Structure 1
């Protein structure tokens, strides 16, 4: 993988994204972190289900607490990202995640690890992730010209999926060799590498929001009104939220179903997750070409229509290697559809949003999208206890029809090309002008940037 410490190189509008050092450092940090997070995604359920003998309800609570911070803090994190240095906010989130994950193998070595501690770790890690992601996604439009956003998101999504797949496979190996608790050290190390790469990004960030009220409330309200008032943002955010709700139900019960009902080994479980993340990479990488050929709207609508069908192998499966292969293939297709839709809708939202609203727009989407998952986790726990795990997953498959119906009933279904950026006359927030070529070159930090680089005490 490309080192984040390579010497600087000048960037130009015709230069490959891979040769643009700020984008490369940004991408490297995200990819390494994604690989590490896949280790935790694979190892944590194994630790809870197989080693701590968690019940269905306890697995649901663990997932609920991991997703709860998105509902509680996403809007605040987005508003803070407009006020503060986005890079500093990303580094803070990475360091907190690394620190809290280290406590798990330490407690396991001392024989004091409990499900309660895992739930606290999930809550703290989820909060730090919200802080990081609110800044990370909104930073991208300041690294590249808007005409390159779709290509950039495609590269991010593809490498993210590849790294996540590698992380799942590596996590399976680490879990088998070291045990699930010590495997989490791999994720902790990935957060430290990500923080180092982010610290070396030198591009000039957009002008920050000038605080007049001393409160985040007005800024959060502006973000909510901005997304609600733009029909494309409103539709895509609603599609994301309803998809996330259905996926949240699967994420809550999926590990329990595969590990216990279908008797998958920890290694097979990691391999199946790895196939899914490879599908996400394939979908993200082919999204620009598919959008050019069929149009962004028809492509996203078709992918959302296919997604519910990919659940049939999971719902019909029984223990055995053949079904494991079928589930892996279906997961590959499901994630490919998700990667194509995710890359395209994120690019559309970033293109049509003004610079001063990027973080808040993304925060609203994160709040609704990931905020739906704690509710889905609680519903999954109740349904799993009441009607059984397989029947609950069937409900989740039916819910995947909702985002398809939302997009199919909106004007976006007919969108044939990527939209144009907003004109200055229609921009609700006027950012300060930014000069430079299409690929933004490295810029020296201003006095304000330098004074705000240190960590500040106030948080979301």
Structure 2
């Protein structure tokens, strides 16, 4: 799909959402480095290390579908504000426990579980709001700019900042995150949401279970959105297995310290920034199918390239290319999905997509921990490579149909015969 270059001026309500997401994701990025480092102060056991991201991701599996139905029922902006306030309270409590020296793995896992539960609702509401605030022609630009900014805060600025604060005091990154969440709530409160279109609301008296079934039925009939959900689930299993062992890979194979680990994680963010800047040009010059296929090849090769290198600079270069892929892939797949899904179903469809996305990472994290414990931290990287390669072969021919589905609207639901 090749699109006309949209205007670079994005609507003001989206800009407030954009600012709030950037603020909260800076805190998320701080914990991206501080979290694994905190776990390793308690234990070096690979399975215990992998259980930390698993505890934060499993709520998406348990409550994801419920979150989608709730997002389609309530004021999405108010829901975002409420759950971010709850996240702030959990983070404040965790910072106090760390500062007191009483932190143990059960308490840490419990706090991460509560954070993941809140994120399941907040992220779904935020994603569902984007097509409401941005015209269809600007969705690609909006997604790339939003993802690019989140990449800067979550992966570039956040991890080294979190690692540096962690080196000063283990509780400091968590106290900082709480302050950032308070600011994000203020920014989200300024988002002006347009009134829903006539007939877009749910029927009175409809049960939540029936609403969930309606969303699942729509996705089952829509080939492109359904296949994207399956695809991101499978690739996130392989990615999650590798990512769960990244802290051990960085410290053992690359011999990096706390700050070096944060910088390694930031390498992909630099690629994400470049990807965000290049996306309007890539969108104009190449079809979405070409962008999706190229990205899947890069992701597959990333696992192999990482496990074969012992040089920190080369690992950072590999993750830089991965960052470009992640930004472009996320922008394209989100745009296809947002254009195809009607507003009244966005929360429920997003819940299925995020369930697969986060659930895939959670499953991969747990699997990576088991493989790392039974074999070594290198085993998940090999699993990631071979698993991604098989998936790539299965979906290669179907990319053209998937990539163009968003331009056909809601009714483009045929399944092409070549899909395995």
Fold-level match, TM-score > 0.5? yes
Preserved contact between residue 288 and residue 344 of structure 1 (Cα < 8 Å): no
Alignment of 1:37-52 (within 5 A): 37-49=28-40, 51-52=41-42
Preserved contact between residue 78 and residue 362 of structure 1 (Cα < 8 Å): yes
Provide the C-alpha distance between the structure 1 equivalents of 2:366 and 2:153, rounded to a whole number of angstroms: 30
Provide the C-alpha distance between the structure 2 equivalents of 1:377 and 1:414, rounded to a whole number of angstroms: 28
Provide the C-alpha distance between the structure 1 equivalents of 2:172 and 2:24, rounded to a whole number of angstroms: 17
Preserved contact between residue 235 and residue 406 of structure 1 (Cα < 8 Å): no
Aligned-partner SS, 2:290:
helix
After superposition, give the CA deviation of every residue in 1:364-393 in whole Å (9 maximum; x if it has no partner): 101112112222222122211111111222
CA RMSD after TM alignment: 2.1
Unpaired runs of 5+ in structure 1? 1-13, 428-460
The residue that corresponds to 1:236 in the other structure is 228
The residue that corresponds to 2:392 in the other structure is 404
Provide the C-alpha distance between the structure 2 equivalents of 1:57 and 1:216, rounded to a whole number of angstroms: 37
Preserved contact between residue 47 and residue 181 of structure 1 (Cα < 8 Å): no
**Does residue 117 in structure 1 map to residue 107 in structure 2?**
yes
Provide the C-alpha distance between the structure 1 equivalents of 2:365 and 2:302, rounded to a whole number of angstroms: 21
The residue that corresponds to 2:383 in the other structure is 395
Preserved contact between residue 295 and residue 417 of structure 1 (Cα < 8 Å): no
The residue that corresponds to 1:439 in the other structure is none
**Size of the alignment, in residue pairs?**
405
Preserved contact between residue 44 and residue 180 of structure 1 (Cα < 8 Å): no
The residue that corresponds to 2:171 in the other structure is 181
The residue that corresponds to 1:133 in the other structure is 123
The residue that corresponds to 1:286 in the other structure is 278
Preserved contact between residue 297 and residue 415 of structure 1 (Cα < 8 Å): yes
Provide the C-alpha distance between the structure 2 equivalents of 1:312 and 1:82, rounded to a whole number of angstroms: 41
**Displacement of 1:261 after TM fit?**
4.3
Preserved contact between residue 168 and residue 274 of structure 1 (Cα < 8 Å): yes
Runs (4+) of structure 1 moved beyond 6 Å?
none
The residue that corresponds to 1:254 in the other structure is 246
Q: In proportion to residue count, which structure has more helix?
A: 2
**Displacement of 1:215 after TM fit?**
2.8
Alignment of 1:277-426 (within 5 A): 277-318=269-310, 323-410=311-398, 412=400, 415=403, 419-422=407-410
- Shift of the 127–248 alpha-carbon distance from structure 1 to 2, 3 Å rule, reads same
Preserved contact between residue 8 and residue 141 of structure 2 (Cα < 8 Å): no
Return the TM-score normalized by structure 1.
0.83
**Displacement of 1:409 after TM fit?**
2.8
Deviates more, 1:70-79 or 1:202-211: 202-211
Provide the C-alpha distance between the structure 1 equivalents of 2:9 and 2:28, rounded to a whole number of angstroms: 25
After superposition, give the CA deviation of every residue in 1:133-183 in whole Å (9 maximum; x if it has no partner): 11000101110111211111111111111222111222232223x233221
Preserved contact between residue 33 and residue 191 of structure 1 (Cα < 8 Å): yes
Deviates more, 1:161-170 or 1:141-150: 161-170
Preserved contact between residue 75 and residue 220 of structure 1 (Cα < 8 Å): yes
**Displacement of 1:336 after TM fit?**
1.0
Provide the C-alpha distance between the structure 1 equivalents of 2:151 and 2:218, rounded to a whole number of angstroms: 31
Preserved contact between residue 284 and residue 339 of structure 1 (Cα < 8 Å): yes
After superposition, give the CA deviation of every residue in 1:384-421 in whole Å (9 maximum; x if it has no partner): 11111112221122222244234313153685796143
Return the TM-score normalized by structure 2.
0.91
Provide the C-alpha distance between the structure 2 equivalents of 1:69 and 1:126, rounded to a whole number of angstroms: 6
